[in-house]
Amino acid sequence: MTYLPRRAAAAATAVAALFALVTGCSGAEAPAPAAEAPAAAASPVALPAPRSAPSPAAVLTPAPTAGEVRVQQGPFTDRVQLTGLRLTASPSSVTGHVAIGSDVSDTLALEITAAYYDAEGRLLGTGTFHHAEEGEEAHAGQPHTGPRAAGDGIDFTVPADHLTGTPAGAVLSIPVLVNE
């Protein structure tokens, strides 16, 4: 009986070796199948997730002149008119007026960001202005009488948030603009 476990172990080892030999246990990967034409998608193609707004430049070149407000070109700057742009000192903010000229529909969401720079062009901090239309439900069936970004436009203020110095200039960007 003492030979039975040894014989069983030897038989099992032989079977495993034979199985490895038959299945090609060489450590190499199996060759890739020949490229075939892509199969038709059974579901709609998913679009990539929207990218977030780019971070402001750490250094602005050329450095801003005192009180200068620049507008960074982006995907929505050709659809809006920014007027009356002004850098205020206390509290530090950028004020102005925005009107949407490309659409007559209501603006559902608008975001304006400002990057604040010192006289040498170093980034001091940022700020954000958010505007969202409330929709007809918020007015209980009454017409909306407040400011709208479409048409006459709206006045905005982008307050600076946690500045590390006194800003000499700012750069505005519009990362979000959603119309009906």
pTM for this entry = 0.63
Gyration radius (Cα) of the chain, Å: 32
Rounded distance between C-alpha atoms, residue 99 and residue 84, angstroms:
11
21-55, pLDDT tens digit by residue? 445 544 555 555 555 555 555 555 555 545 566 78
Contact (Cβ atoms closer than 8 angstroms) between residue 53 and residue 112:
no
**Strand partners of residue 86:** 95
**Strand partners of residue 64:** none
Cα 111 from chain centroid (whole Å)? 12
Rounded distance between C-alpha atoms, residue 171 and residue 160, angstroms:
12
Residues of the chain with pLDDT under 70: 1-53, 102-105, 134-151
Instruction: Give SS3 for 12.
Output: helix
Cα 28 from chain centroid (whole Å)? 43
Nearest to 151 by CA among 136, 139, 133, 137: 133
125-to-31, 60, 97 alpha-carbon distances in Å: 55, 13, 22
Q: What pLDDT, on a 0 to 100 scale, did the predictor assign at position 140?
A: 47
